[in-house]
Structure 1
């Protein structure tokens, strides 16, 4: 059951530490949820056969070894889905590879769910393949918008490292069993699905949500340069979907069609969030949401809190997101400085991780995005607009495509925290302007990023793989591919 070579390649930290790989798995890896090989998914087996309460990893190994393998239980189980296209026949079928599954959902996972919903509306069946089953709620959501769900251990591509041959073989077998017409990769970080697809003569579409030139952390994780990451994505795709014009510019002119399909927002759900009602009895609430790490502008947000503390307005600066080492270090430093100065009062608060973004957004009046790397889209910015919250952000990356300066929010030069503070003060002192900008943002989100716009853009992109049927509303036809390239 254990594949030493695969284990070391799949988990570089284990390889770097040296020692006996199998001993590591027994002593640490099993308890940490690591997989044995590409031929069995411990997490997937437990999710599929464990009933309402998935089994612990050790129970899975024991069950499969002593009982499951003799009874013919699939170590890479197929979990039936109940999407709208699940029981239908004759329509195109996409094999959709997710890039990761973690206990918490982030932008890429939410965007994948949106894409699957759109595929359903376009009459396209999807079988979804995930690398692990560590988030049962997410897997259940994927089942609701797919024909079937498979759990097959795989990892990210790394330059100068060949993909494991047994992983590719497992993927080829899976693709053959699903009768997929094409492969859709939800990220440019994958490699093996493309190799397996090409061996079967299937076209490959890669959905790019990354800007390698402005994401050194991604390049380091892939052991490649920014140019190497872009070249790899182009070489292993027949068509690229990108989430903004800013992202498109990094991939255009390389001989592969590039289609802009911006992220979408579920407007009916977000319109249920009440518009901002400033109350003189409480402070203005300014929020930053997402991954609370340095490159997301964590230090800048703390500087914004300090700048606003010097103004004649009462403001609470709220951080929404899971605790991180960067956040812990920042809060500890601020506590020590405040204590040394005899001032323990603060206007910076960590509100924790919000399982439901709408609940967090409803507690805010203004949303900021202060990322120090170029955002390829800006999902929380779009959600703020849908919630009728004005946005103040840095003027770079894809954010100017979302925020209309002076109409739905304000833009400031990169790193200019004082300018951001000035815009927040203007909004705090002008409730009518704040409400008007929120309303304009909601209208813009609905017009450009709602379900119908997403369906139209996705239909155009998919026509490079196979003809797409007319949508219910009749506004999208199979020969309407006319996007900019």
Structure 2
């Protein structure tokens, strides 16, 4: 190798699934002897965590694509910042002799453009499963083909979403892995924290609040279950991107207008997800759109909790239906509630499914496997 420097770009500085995954990717690069540097648009919990690992972080407005920019003025705004960022990143690449650029999301274009201008290899690490609008999906597919030396996907479902238009020979699936020690045998008393009785069955959902994850669907399912069960309590954990606070307001309005205030608690953002999983009885992730490989499902599995997830995207590769949990429809709250009811009625089934899920997590989604597989895959690209 000429050198061992890799420039990594990520879209936010929070500590949700994708951000925690980029930390593991940085660790994997160091694991195989590479020297990564992370570029972010702003400081935050992620930048602090990465710097604590001794990895350099720089802040540069990257022109991240969000749905709110899908209008004329928004697209013009993004064009300006993407072009400006591309030129600045190109100078960084050339001045500091980076051999490879890795973009940890498909909502940042500037890294790919800068790598093309600088004549260095670029890897897309695709974490989103974009199904629409059609023009945007087609454009992303075009970028993957034209600016990706190799394209990593976090699940087969995510990769298949871009077939047959994407060049299959340039794709590789690498499952995320998590460090699960804080989740295993965690007996945190979340019910005590919430001030509810120990005989309540606690059903949780942990996810960033957006149009993908299905928080409103979760509330609809909860409402149906509460008609039949008085021993249930539901929790939501997660905040939203700036500018999308109206989604939180809509959820709160639904809770109040449906008289669910005493049975549902919104915890907001929590950094101790391991305690939430440890203190829950059932975990639900009711995504209403394709979700590539949601980390919170892995975290629930690590905590030996049965997982209810919609049969969309990567969830179908994580949850073994009827064995480690249940896969439910994304648009039928009645059917979803019926499957969850099976777990409510059978504590032994909850325990069995949880333990099988934990075994599956350790076998297929461990941090050790990820460090080895991801690091090795990047090295192969560099050495080609």
TM class by shorter-chain length?
Answer: 0.7 to 0.9
Query: Secondary structure, in 3 states, of the residue corresponding to 1:397?
Result: coil
Change (3 A) 1:97 1:436: same
- The farther-off stretch of 421-430 and 266-275 is 266-275
Q: C-alpha distance in 1, partners of 2:333/2:99?
A: 50
Change (3 A) 1:143 1:305: same
Q: Please list, as runs of the form range in 1=range in 2, the aligned pairs for 1:203-218 lying within 5 A after superposition.
A: 203-213=121-131, 216=133
Counterpart of 2:269 (choices 344, 348, 353) is 353
Q: Which structure ranks higher in relative contact order (CA pairs < 8 Å, sequence separation ≥ 6)?
A: 2
Counterpart of 2:46 (choices 138, 146, 152) is 138
Q: C-alpha distance in 1, partners of 2:143/2:54?
A: 28
Q: Which has more helix, going by share of residues?
A: 2
Residues 97-138 of structure 1 show CA distances to partners (whole Å, capped at 9, x for unaligned) of: 12233xx422221111111111122222112222222x1x42
Q: C-alpha distance in 2, partners of 1:139/1:432?
A: 42
Count of aligned pairs: 364
Counterpart of 1:171 (choices 63, 84, 89) is 89
1:148 correspondence with 2:64: no
Change (3 A) 1:108 1:334: closer
Residues 55-101 of structure 1 show CA distances to partners (whole Å, capped at 9, x for unaligned) of: xxxxxxxxxxxxxxxxxxxxxxxxxxxxxxxxxx9862211112233
Change (3 A) 1:199 1:284: same
Q: C-alpha distance in 1, partners of 2:113/2:53?
A: 26
Query: Secondary structure, in 3 states, of the residue corresponding to 1:184?
Result: strand
Q: Which runs of 5+ in 2 are unaligned?
A: 66-74
Counterpart of 2:248 (choices 327, 344, 351) is 327
Query: Secondary structure, in 3 states, of the residue corresponding to 1:269?
Result: coil
In the TM superposition, what is the alpha-carbon distance from 1:292 to its structure 2 partner? Answer: 2.9
1:418 correspondence with 2:334: yes
In the TM superposition, what is the alpha-carbon distance from 1:249 to its structure 2 partner? Answer: 0.9
In the TM superposition, what is the alpha-carbon distance from 1:313 to its structure 2 partner? Answer: 5.2
In the TM superposition, what is the alpha-carbon distance from 1:345 to its structure 2 partner? Answer: 6.4
Q: Please list, as runs of the form range in 1=range in 2, the aligned pairs for 1:43-442 lying within 5 A after superposition.
A: 92-101=4-13, 104-133=14-43, 135=44, 137-145=45-53, 147-156=55-64, 161=79, 166-213=84-131, 216=133, 224-253=135-164, 254-255=166-167, 257-274=170-187, 281-312=198-229, 314-322=231-239, 324-338=245-259, 346-442=262-358
Q: C-alpha distance in 2, partners of 1:406/1:333?
A: 31
In the TM superposition, what is the alpha-carbon distance from 1:443 to its structure 2 partner? Answer: 1.0
Q: C-alpha distance in 1, partners of 2:143/2:6?
A: 22
Residues 389-440 of structure 1 show CA distances to partners (whole Å, capped at 9, x for unaligned) of: 1101112221110000111101122322222222222222222211111111
TM-score for both structures, normalised by structure 1: 0.69
Q: C-alpha distance in 2, partners of 1:193/1:174?
A: 11
Structure having the higher Rg = 1
Q: C-alpha distance in 1, partners of 2:234/2:316?
A: 23
Residues 177-202 of structure 1 show CA distances to partners (whole Å, capped at 9, x for unaligned) of: 33211111111122222222223221
Change (3 A) 1:146 1:231: farther
Q: C-alpha distance in 2, partners of 1:280/1:131?
A: 44
Change (3 A) 1:364 1:164: closer
TM-score for both structures, normalised by structure 2: 0.85
Q: C-alpha distance in 2, partners of 1:277/1:317?
A: 12
Q: C-alpha distance in 1, partners of 2:139/2:24?
A: 29
Change (3 A) 1:303 1:167: closer
In the alignment, is the contact (CA less than 8 A) between 2:177 and 2:368 conserved in 1? Answer: no
Change (3 A) 1:129 1:379: same
- The farther-off stretch of 286-295 and 270-279 is 270-279
In the alignment, is the contact (CA less than 8 A) between 1:97 and 1:186 conserved in 2? Answer: yes
Change (3 A) 1:182 1:308: same
Change (3 A) 1:175 1:319: same
Residues 357-392 of structure 1 show CA distances to partners (whole Å, capped at 9, x for unaligned) of: 112222211011111111111111111111111101
Query: Secondary structure, in 3 states, of the residue corresponding to 2:357?
Result: helix
In the alignment, is the contact (CA less than 8 A) between 2:63 and 2:85 conserved in 1? Answer: no
